Each structure stands twice: as structure tokens, then as C-alpha cells.
Structure 1
Amino acid sequence: MKPNSDYLVRRLRLRHLELLVALADAGTMRAAAVRLNLSQPALSKMLGEVESGFGARLFERSPQGLAANALGAAAVYRARVMLGELLRGKDEVDALRTGAAGVLRLGTLSVTASVPRAVVQLRRRVPGARVQVQEGRVRDLVQKLLDGELDCVFGAITPELLTSDLLPLLHPEVLLEDELCVLCDPEHPLARSRKLRWADLHAADWVAPPKDTLVRQAFMTAFLNEGLEPPEPAIEVLSSVTIGSVLRMDAALLGAVRFEHARDELARTGLRRLAVTPAVPLPSLGLYTRRAAEAPAPLVQAFAAALRRAGAGARGPA
């Protein structure tokens, strides 16, 4: 007989959830037993209890170890989320005990003009809010979101994520448009030029991100659309902060960045943005949350509203 949900709740304990995650991560009974400080017979007994509770085999055994099947993968995913939510509950209780209004765990691009503005606005509207920011690549941060380690992720709404198997688990909301920008030092020969085209920049020395980034792909597209072979950057670096630093030190270079990064550089440095046509769009920026029956937490909703205000207050592309 298929177990009902009440039976599952009564039978399974927190330790069973930890077991599911440990087996998925470790891949063998022995490694999972060491991780959980259990004997292998005790671990096997617990796995039997878990599979009995779900009424299905969740892991396939082989000489190489264990691997979650489709049913197991679903159970492991939910176990990660529940464990992550439990840790979030601990963080929130600790924060509330010290007078905070709550904790927002945010994943974001490493450099963005909108997020600092939104965080400051959030803190003004919810003075007791605490914000924990993790920076990195969006695809890595989204996995942390799904694992329950983050509450939301600000980043590009990419075709890769929109067509991936993860989409049914995510709720992406588009908040800001974005496009490719060209920055330079005020002493660059083209700094005061108007009505430039990409062909006018073909022979320049460039600093740009690696080829696996959206910005570099847009950069290549800009020249391909003009019938030109994309230039090879003189300097290739991922960080837009480093790109800005290099441009300020070498007035002969041009830099390719996204508009969201350009806003940050232009606001705090003497760099200039070249007016280049035609515009080359980048995937829109937005906020990812986990798809669920209930609405996101109030603090997440307040941060999303702050992001919308920060975006609306930004000047449009030149």
C-alpha cells in the first residue's frame, strides 16, 4: 500500500533527511556512514525506513556505489530544501532575538549598481533587516537557492536557465533591461567621439571577459553583425572591477562590460561610456526565487520592490 503523508511524517525524522543528502553527495554507503558517524548496518536500516516511508526505492545499487533514481532525486531535492529552511529558521530566530526584523540571504552578480541601492532602500523601509550577500555566477547561486541556502538570486534571466530542467523549480521575475557597453579612460582618443559604430572600434585594444560569459558573447555578436571577425582582447578578465582598474591605468584600452556594471563604474570613477550603435542587448536582469504554492517571504518581496525602484531610478542607456 502506498504510504499516506501522515504516515510519512510520523516515520521520518530529521536524521532521515540528512541521510538522503549524505547518500546523494557521497555516492557510497561507506562514505555516507562516515559523514553521518553511523555504522553501515545502521545506515542501511535507516535507508530502508526512508524508502518504506516513501513506498518506493530511491537509490539504485551497483558495484560502484549508490545513485539516486528519478524518485530519489526528487526526495533528495526536497530534503535539501527542508534542511536549508531549518537553518534559515535558526538564523531568523537568532536575528529576532537580537532585535533584527529578519534575515535576507541574497545571491547576486559580483558587481551591480542596483543591488547596493536596493539593499540600502530595504534597510530604510525595514530598519531591522539583516542582509547576507553571496556573490558569484548565477548558475551556481541558483543551485544554492534550490538547496535552500539562499532566499533569492539577482542575475541574468538567461536562455540557458529558461530552457533547463530547473525552470519548473524556479520563479524568475524580469526587473531590468541590460545591454553591452564600451568604457574607456577620458584620455582615450575616442573618448569624445559621437555616433561610433562597432566597425570604428575593430582595431582597438580591448579588455573583455572570457568567452563563456554573456558579455563576451554579446561583444563577439556586435562585430559579427557588422561582418567583421571579433577582435581578440589584449586582456581577458572576468571581474568588471578589474576591467575598470585596467582602463584607468591604460588610456589606450577599451573595455566591454554590461550596462549594469557600467553604471557602477561611471558612478564612482572618471571613466566614460562611448556612444556606439547599434545597441547590443544582453539578457534581462531579474530576481529568481523558488517556485512554491505560498508567496515569497515578506522580506524577499520587499527587496524585489526595492530592486524595481532602484532600476526605475537608473538613467537609461546612452
Structure 2
Amino acid sequence: MTPPLNSIISRLHLKQLRLLIALGDHGSLLKAAQQVALTQPGASKALQEIETTFGTPLFNRTNRGLEPNEAGRCVIRYARLIHTDLSHMREEIVGIMRGQGGRVAVGVIMGAVPLLTDAITSLIARNPEISVEIVEDTSATLLSQIDEGRLDLAICRTTISQTPQHYETTRLQEETLAVVANVQHPLRRAKKVRLPDVAEYRWVVYRANMPMRLLLEREFREADLRFPMHLLETTSAFATLALLQSNPSFVALVSIDVAQFFASHEMTCILPLHLASRSEPYELVTRKGAQLSPGARQLIEELNAKHGGEA
């Protein structure tokens, strides 16, 4: 039986939360003990006390080390949230004492990077002492980092989540897609390009089951074309750009914002290929019930001012 809340509060210490986080990171009692400046016997005793506090084992002991069970993963996730909240509290206090400043951690999917950077430029002009952490990744990874308290907010999509009700979302803008290629691509001067024209080129794409990839597969299916077999899969804007610049025949599907950014700096060209399918809109996502820092609120204000978000 799980002990009552008052019992957990009175027995649980911050150093124990740090130990839980370290165990989640390393899966090794020795490495976790070293990280939090405990001896291995001290760490072992602390873990026993933590499991007694919660009234259940939190880890499976294996020959590979300590693996968190379902309850352990839950406790580690909340330990990270508490640690992050304390870190944000300190940064907010510093900002209050200085009159401004603070910190915000924001995630973004590749297609929305230009949208985010515009808002951050305005935010820094408004609050020059603010620190901003930017994480570019897939929607699934960004949502998991919101769950763990590693991110204050993200521009991504909650449709890929099995628990979308855990998030507050605001619709930012529709995503329009474009096909880009090396500036020396054979089709760079074409007036109009159809999907069969680029079907045999090597494509740089998101990995399977991601929204942009599914859209491209649908385009090929509806055009009665076989989807390319030999793909280059990445979620990185920089990797996409580097691949396109390394080979004049490669093509890639990206958001129109990314395509225009690349093209404006003459790094790639946009092929005149019309796609019938529509992509899902970008969402501004926060954890439901989370207390947002002043820096996070300021960034949200900038995003909504520029892109007219709708709940």
C-alpha cells in the first residue's frame, strides 16, 4: 500500500531525488553514487529508504545494473519535474532581483524552426538578459521532454501522442510543404515539375510513420507511383541541407518556411512541384497545469502576436 502524501513529504529529501535522476540516467548504482557525491553503500541505503518511502520497489536488479520498473519510471519522471521546477524557480528569482532576465527552454520540429527564431529574435530585443535553450527534434521526443519538465513549451504536433489530453495546445499556423534540391539539380530551371519527374531521384525524408513522411507516401500512392526505396532519413534541418549540398541529384520535402530560408541564402532551390495533400498545423504545446515561467510566457506572447494562435 502506498504511504499517505504527508509521510512521503516528510521522508523524501532533495538529494534522494537527485539520486533517482542519476539512476535513471546511468542505470548503475556506482555511477549514480559518484554523480551525487555518495559512497556506493550510502547510495544503496538511500535507495532502500526511497523505496520504503514509496512502499514499493522502483528498480529491477539485473546483471546489467538497475532498470526502473513502471513505478520507478513514474517516480524518476516526477523527480526530474521537481528538479526542473527548482532550477526555474532559482532563475526566476535571479530575474526578479535583476528586473528582467530568466530562462526558457523550447522545443521545435524542423519545419517550424524559422517561425521560432523570428519570435526569439523579438523576445531578446524585449528582454536582452533572457537565456533560451532550443531543442530541435521530432514531436514524439519533444512531448516526452515536456512530460519530464525538460522543456517549458514546444512547437510540434500532439496528434502523434496517445495522451493528447495531457497538454494545453494553441494552433499557430498551417504548414505548407515544398520540395527542395541542390542549386545545380537537373530540374532547377524547369517551369513545372510533376511527381513522376522526381520519383527516381534520391529523397531525403523523415522516418516512417511521421506526418510529413506519411503525406509524401500518400502523394506517391495517389499518383499511382511506387514510393522510393532507397531513402535518406533524418529529422535534422542541418543534415538535410548538408545532404542536398553534397549531391546535385538529391531532393527533400521540407516546410515552405525552411525551403524559403534555404533558398534566400542560395543554399538550395525550390522545385515548382505542387503537392495536393495538406500537412497538419503547427501547435504551441505546454504541459497541462504547468506553471509557466515569465520567460516562457513572454515567448508565448511573441509567438501568438506573430502568428495569431488559436486555442
Tell me the residue number matched to 1:151.
Answer: 152
What amino acid does structure 2 have at the position aligned with 1:81? L
Tell me the residue number matched to 1:209.
Answer: 205
CA distance in 2 between counterparts of 1:241 and 1:151 reads 24
Tell me the residue number matched to 1:296.
Answer: 292
What amino acid does structure 2 have at the position aligned with 1:15? K
Matched, 1:59 2:62: no
CA distance in 1 between counterparts of 2:222 and 2:293 reads 44
The alpha carbon displacement at 1:210 in A equals 5.2
Which digits, 9 at most, give the CA deviation of each residue in 1:189-215, with x for residues without a partner? Answer: 464524x54234435x34523544654
What amino acid does structure 2 have at the position aligned with 1:263? Q
CA distance in 1 between counterparts of 2:243 and 2:16 reads 52
Inter-CA distance 247–25: structure 2 relative to 1 (3 Å threshold): closer
The alpha carbon displacement at 1:70 in A equals 3.1
Tell me the residue number matched to 1:305.
Answer: 301
Q: Check conservation: 1:237, 1:243, Cα contact below 8 A.
A: yes
- TM-score normalised by L of structure 2: 0.77
CA distance in 2 between counterparts of 1:104 and 1:215 reads 28
Unaligned residue ranges in structure 1 (runs of 5+) = 314-318
* Higher fraction of strand: 1
What amino acid does structure 1 have at the position aligned with 2:261? D
Tell me the residue number matched to 2:178.
Answer: 181
What amino acid does structure 2 have at the position aligned with 1:219? L
Q: Check conservation: 1:100, 1:130, Cα contact below 8 A.
A: no
Which digits, 9 at most, give the CA deviation of each residue in 1:141-193, with x for residues without a partner? Answer: 433333333212223x1643x22x6x454434332221431235498546452
- TM-score normalised by L of structure 1: 0.76
The alpha carbon displacement at 1:113 in A equals 1.5
Inter-CA distance 59–132: structure 2 relative to 1 (3 Å threshold): closer
Q: What does 1:1-318 align with in structure 2 at a 5 Å threshold?
A: 3-54=3-54, 56-64=55-63, 65-96=65-96, 100-109=100-109, 112-126=113-127, 128-155=129-156, 157=157, 159-160=159-160, 162-163=161-162, 167=164, 169-184=166-181, 185=183, 189=187, 191=189, 193-194=191-192, 196-203=193-200, 205-209=201-205, 211-212=207-208, 214-231=211-228, 239-241=236-238, 243-244=240-241, 254-269=251-266, 272-292=269-289, 294-311=290-307
What amino acid does structure 2 have at the position aligned with 1:36? V
The residue matched to 2:227 in structure 1 has which SS?
A: coil
Inter-CA distance 309–225: structure 2 relative to 1 (3 Å threshold): farther
CA distance in 1 between counterparts of 2:81 and 2:275 reads 44
Q: Check conservation: 1:158, 1:283, Cα contact below 8 A.
A: no
The alpha carbon displacement at 1:17 in A equals 0.9
What amino acid does structure 1 have at the position aligned with 2:10? R
The residue matched to 1:101 in structure 2 has which SS?
A: coil
Inter-CA distance 97–231: structure 2 relative to 1 (3 Å threshold): same
The residue matched to 1:208 in structure 2 has which SS?
A: strand
CA distance in 2 between counterparts of 1:278 and 1:146 reads 34
CA distance in 2 between counterparts of 1:109 and 1:253 reads 22
The alpha carbon displacement at 1:82 in A equals 0.6
* Bigger mean CA deviation after superposition, 206-215 or 16-25: 206-215
CA distance in 2 between counterparts of 1:241 and 1:197 reads 26
CA distance in 1 between counterparts of 2:66 and 2:249 reads 57
- State, as a whole percentage, how many aligned pairs show the same letter: 22
The alpha carbon displacement at 1:288 in A equals 2.6
Inter-CA distance 34–240: structure 2 relative to 1 (3 Å threshold): closer
Which digits, 9 at most, give the CA deviation of each residue in 1:226-261, with x for residues without a partner? Answer: 111124578766544565567678776644222232
Aligned length: 305
The residue matched to 1:219 in structure 2 has which SS?
A: helix
Inter-CA distance 69–168: structure 2 relative to 1 (3 Å threshold): farther
Which digits, 9 at most, give the CA deviation of each residue in 1:125-152, with x for residues without a partner? Answer: 4455332323344433433333333212
CA distance in 1 between counterparts of 2:230 and 2:40 reads 55
Q: Check conservation: 1:59, 1:66, Cα contact below 8 A.
A: no
